[in-house]
Amino acid sequence: MTDAADPIPNELEALRAALLAERAARQEAEARASGLDAMVAHLKLLIAKLRQERFGASAERGARLDQLELQLEELEAAASEDRATAVTSSNSDRPEPVHPRPARRPLPAHLPRERVVIPGPAACPCCQGQLTKLGEDITETLEVVPRSWKVVQTVRERLVCRACETITQVPAPFHPISRGRAGPELLATILEAKFGQHLPLNRQSETFAHEGINLDVSTLADWVGACSTALAPLIELIRAHVLAAERLHGDDTTVPVLARNRTSIGRLWTYVRDDGPFGSSSPPAAMFHYTPDRTAAHPRRHLSRYTGILQADAYAGFNELYREGRAPGTIVEAACWAHGRRKLFVLADLAKAPLAIEAVRRIDAIFDAERGILGQLAEQRLAVRQEMIVPMVSELEAWMRTERARLSRHNDVGRAMDYMLKRWTAFTRFLEDGRICLTNNAAERALRGIAIGRKAWLFAGSDRGGERAAAIYSLIVTARLNDVDPRAWLGDTLRRIADHPAQRLNELLPWNYPHTLNAKQSAA
């Protein structure tokens, strides 16, 4: 603002200049303020993520992160808008930054570069003398090329022998779909979009139409069904690999299913093999099953041939699996500390209950100690647990039982403690076996995409559609667990599976795909 002691100019041009300067200063101040707000939100988000990495992932922290990320998105957009307004109003082409910006990372080196050369003047603008090149400045801009379509024509020549007049022609190549017109890359794109990105077929059909390709939903659905049949042998191999694990993570989630005059609630079950936490080199994998309800008969059928360790929540339907004398063998129960901690965390975070806060603090110390042995061999993990974690767990149990005895029967904190105390043997089994994890987060991560996707596809079309979805989820989630791009792997697999020897189908599994790709690149 203009200082009161300064003389007020009388000329109209001077007044206009003063008004413009004041307006530019105000806009710069607004841009600076919005930029600082965005920085504060960014720091809060960073702190929340660091806390999540330290104390473990859980649903309540994930919801908080989503809120912070949305807040950061809005504040960053507002700050960018204010900066653009300030630049437009400023007389300078390069105004001073209103708040520090993070350093830009270089664009990916593997992307192709397209050079657009802006020619310089033919002669010196000052004296019209001859110019000599000193060098050049390069500004890189990230750009995307819209998806392109093509029709592949496979030509097979017919040849005739002039001696015997015999006509010869090479046989037609195998196609991913019998008598189909879709190539493997298109089929992989449709499958990954529907089951990996949760984009329903009707929306894909609309997107294709905007690009000039008319593919009806019925055609896309026919292709999805045919691909499910073609990939069925790989799904069985993945399920056999999962059931051969020494330890499994199990969990389930709801799936709305369209029924006559109503929507019923089905279930998607997942069983995840992930031996990496105890130093094994066996590839991770996940198998999914769909059921129309949540009765105990389903997990008994899914794991009818399995013997080993099952990490899961306290669902009563698993109890029959833990029964002694079960054929072919008893499954060992291992409880999830994240589930036990979650009930206490809610009371500590919302009700600010002192006992819940203390319980969460003690459990978080166990999580912190456990994180240091992630990926070590089972024997090493067990030794560290016996030395460091056993005393903490013993102190936690003694403290919880003492405090529980002082609380009423219906106290909320007491009930949260009962969840763990009544299953204490299952909760402390990880202290006796280095293969057991502290949580069941591996299964929850496998189901996370489905929980998010429900908002997009709303419901499964039928029970059979749920079974088909479970089969394709097994492929896509297994590929992601092995750090393999599902779309690229599906495209390569659909191209090869039709004429691939049955006894060598394991070569097409996701964890073998990177080696096959490297071999192809080396040969090329």
pLDDT digits (tens, 9 = 90+) for 331-372: 999 999 999 999 899 888 877 889 999 999 999 999 999 999
* C-alpha span between 127 and 481 (Å, rounded): 66
Q: Give domain status of residue 156, yes or no.
A: no
Q: Contact, 152 vs 183, CB < 8 A?
A: yes
The answer to whether 306 touches 299, Cβ cutoff 8 Å, is no
Final residue before a domain boundary, out of 431, 454, 477? 431
pLDDT score of 194 more than 60: yes
Ranges of H-type helices in 315-457: 337-346, 354-371, 378-384, 390-406, 412-421, 424-427, 441-457
Q: Which amino acid is at 427?
A: F
User: In this structure, is residue 97 part of a structural domain?
Assistant: no
Q: Over range 152-157, report the average pLDDT.
A: 90
The confidence band for 168, taking pLDDT boundaries of 50, 70 and 90, is: very high
Q: Which long-range contacts (CB under 8 A, 24 or more apart) does 225-231 make?
A: 225/468, 226/176, 226/177, 226/178, 226/180, 227/176, 227/177, 227/187, 227/191, 227/494, 228/468, 228/471, 228/472, 230/176, 230/177, 230/494, 230/497, 230/498, 231/471, 231/472, 231/475, 231/493, 231/494, 231/497
Pick from 155, 149, 214, 208: nearest CA to 183: 149
pLDDT (average), residues 163-185: 86
Q: Cα(524)–Cα(512) distance, rounded to whole angstroms? A: 19
Q: Note the pLDDT tens digit of each residue in 454-463.
A: 776 656 677 8
Q: Which backbone phi and psi does 522 adopt, to 5 degrees?
A: -65, -40
Q: Tokens representing 511?
A: 């964890």
Q: Could you read off the pLDDT of 228-273 as tens digits, one per residue?
A: 999 999 999 999 999 999 999 999 998 888 776 777 889 999 999 9
β-bridge partners, 262: 259
35 part of a folded domain: yes
How do beta strands 262-273 and 247-259 pair? antiparallel
pLDDT tens-place string over residues 283-323 = 999 999 999 999 999 999 999 999 999 999 999 999 999 99
Task: Provide the domain limits for residue 427.
Answer: 337-431
For 352: left if phi > 0, alpha if psi spans -120 to 50, otherwise beta; the answer is left
Q: In what order do the strands lie in the sheet with 285-291?
A: 285-291, 262-273, 247-259, 309-311, 332-334
State pLDDT tens for residues 210-232.
999 999 888 898 899 889 999 99
| Structural domains of the chain, count | 2
**What 3-state class would DSSP assign to 411?**
coil
Distances (CA, A) of 186 to 150, 172, 516: 11, 20, 21
Q: Tokens in use for 203?
A: 């929306």
Distance CA 24, CA 117 (A): 36
The fraction of the chain above a pLDDT of 70, given in percent, is: 80
Question: Is 228 inside a domain boundary?
Answer: no
* pLDDT given for residue 74 in this prediction: 62
pLDDT at 505 over 90: yes
**Token code pair at residue 226:** 């045919």
Q: What is the DSSP letter of 460?
A: B
The predicted structure's pLDDT at residue 340 = 93
**Both tokens of residue 341?**
């901690």
Q: What is the pLDDT of residue 511?
A: 94
What DSSP line would sit under 486-498, residue for residue? Answer: HHHHHHHHHHHGG
Q: With respect to residue 369, please indicate whether it lies within any of the assigned structural domains.
A: yes
* Alpha carbon distances (Å) from 221 to 27, 260, 377: 54, 21, 46
Ramachandran region, residue 177 (left: φ > 0; alpha: ψ -120 to 50; beta: rest): beta
| Residues 157, 71: Cα–Cα separation, whole Å | 62
pLDDT grade for 186, boundaries at 50, 70 and 90? very high
Is there a domain that residue 345 lies in? yes
Q: What is the mean pLDDT of the chain?
A: 84
Strand, coil or helix: 362: helix
Q: Which helix (H) or strand (E) holds 295?
A: none
Reported confidence tier of residue 65, pLDDT bands at 50, 70, 90: low
Would residue 51 count as lying in a domain?
A: yes
pLDDT at residue 6, rounded to an integer: 55
What local confidence, expressed as pLDDT, does residue 60 receive?
47
The last residue of one of the domains, among 41, 59, 89, is 89
* Predicted pLDDT at 146: 85
- Cα 139 to chain centroid distance, Å, stands at 33
Q: What is the mean pLDDT of residues 375-397?
A: 95
Residue type, 495: R
Please name the residues in contact with 507: beta carbons below 8 A apart, sequence gap of 6 or more.
Answer: 500, 516
Residue 57's pLDDT band (cuts 50, 70, 90): very low
Tell me how far apart the alpha carbons of residues 171 and 295 are, in angstroms, rounded to a whole number: 51
Q: Supply the pTM of this predicted model.
A: 0.77
Q: Cis check for the bond before 184: say yes or no (omega within 30 of 0).
A: no
Sorting pLDDT into bands at 50, 70 and 90, what band is 95?
very low
Average pLDDT over residues 438-457: 85
3-state secondary structure of 194: helix
Q: Which of 263, 202, 201 is nearest to 227 (CA)?
A: 201
Q: At what angle do helices 217-230 and 463-481 cross, to 10 degrees?
A: 60
What are 415's two structure tokens?
A: 């009930």
pLDDT of 8 reads 55
| 523 — pLDDT class (breaks 50, 70, 90) | low
Taking every pair of C-alpha atoms in the chain, what is the biggest distance, in angstroms? 113
**Per-residue pLDDT at 59:** 47
State what percent of residues in the chain have pLDDT above 90. 52
Give the pLDDT band of residue 135 (cuts 50, 70, 90). confident
More confident position, 60 or 202: 202
> Of 35, 57, 89, which residue constitutes the final position of a domain?
89
Average pLDDT over residues 498-507: 91
Q: What is the dihedral of CA 182, 455, 294, 66, to 10 degrees?
A: 120
Q: Average pLDDT in the 465-490 region?
A: 93
